[in-house]
Amino acid sequence: MCGISGIVFRKAVSFRFAAEIAGALYNTQKHRGPNGGGMVFFDEHLNPYPILPRDVSIEPDRHVPYLDFNQNTEYQNNIKIVLCHNRLAVIDLSPFGHQPMCDPEKKFWITYNGEIYNHQNIKQSFFQAETFYSRSDTEVLLHLASGMPEKLDELNGMWAFALLDRQQKKLLLSRDRLGVKPLYYYHDERYFIFSSEVKALIQTKLFTPKLNEACIPFLLYHARCDFPHHTFYRGITPLSPSSLTEFDISAHEISQQKKYFQIRFSENPSLLSENSVRQTLEESVKRHLISDIPWGISLSGGADSSGILAMASAITGRPVECFSAVMPGFEKDESELIKLTTDRFQSTLNIVMPDANHFFSRLDELQYALEFSVVRRKYIRAIFGDGKSSLLGRTRHSGRTRQRRMECRLRASCFFAHGRPILASPGRQFVLPVSKPDSLCFNFCPCILS
Average pLDDT, the chain: 78
> Above 60 in pLDDT, residue 408?
no
Q: What's the pLDDT band for 437 if we cut at 50, 70, 90?
A: very low
> Residue 325 burial by CB count (10 A; 0-12/13-18/19+): exposed, middle or buried?
middle
pLDDT in the model for residue 387? 53
CA separation for the pair 95, 103 (Å, rounded): 15
Distance from the first to the final alpha carbon of the chain: 16
CA distance 424 to 76: 52
Between CA 275 and CA 268 the distance in angstroms is: 14
pLDDT of residue 385: 60
Helices and strands (DSSP H and E) totals, the chain: 14, 19
Within 13 A of 435's CA, how many CA atoms are on the CB side? 0
Residues linked to residue 258 through DSSP beta bridges, in sequence order: 244
Report domain extents, the chain: 3-183+239-259, 269-391
CA–CA distance, 148 with 244 (Å, rounded to integer): 13
Query: According to the per-residue pLDDT averaged within each range, which of 157-171, 209-223, 225-239, 342-356 is highest?
Result: 157-171
Which range, 75-79, 152-156, 403-407, 432-436, has the best average confidence (pLDDT)?
152-156
Strand order in the sheet with 79-86: 48-51, 37-43, 79-86, 3-13, 191-195, 184-187, 236-238
Asked if residue 386 has pLDDT above 60, the reply is: no
CATH class of the domain defined by 3-183+239-259: alpha beta
- Confidence band for 56, pLDDT divided at 50, 70 and 90: low
Predicted local confidence at residue 336, as pLDDT: 87
For 270-328, where are the alpha helices, taking DSSP H only? Answer: 274-288, 303-316
Contact indicator for 160, 153 with CB cutoff of 8 Å: no
pTM reported for the whole predicted model: 0.79
pLDDT (0 to 100) of residue 142: 93
pLDDT at residue number 381? 59
Q: Could you name the CATH architecture of 269-391?
A: 3-Layer(aba) Sandwich (3.40)
| 309 three-state secondary structure | helix
Please name which of 354, 336, 155 lies closest in space to residue 242, comparing C-alpha atoms: 155
pLDDT of residue 346: 87
110 vs 321, higher pLDDT: 110
Section 207-232 average pLDDT: 82
Burial 159-183 (b: 16+ CB within 10 A, else e): bbbbbbbbeeebbbbbbbbebebbb
Distances in Å between the alpha carbon of 253 and those of 7, 170, 178, 193, 205?
A: 13, 10, 25, 12, 21
Check if 3-183+239-259 and 269-391 are the same fold: no
Alpha-carbon distance 53 to 32, whole Å? 15
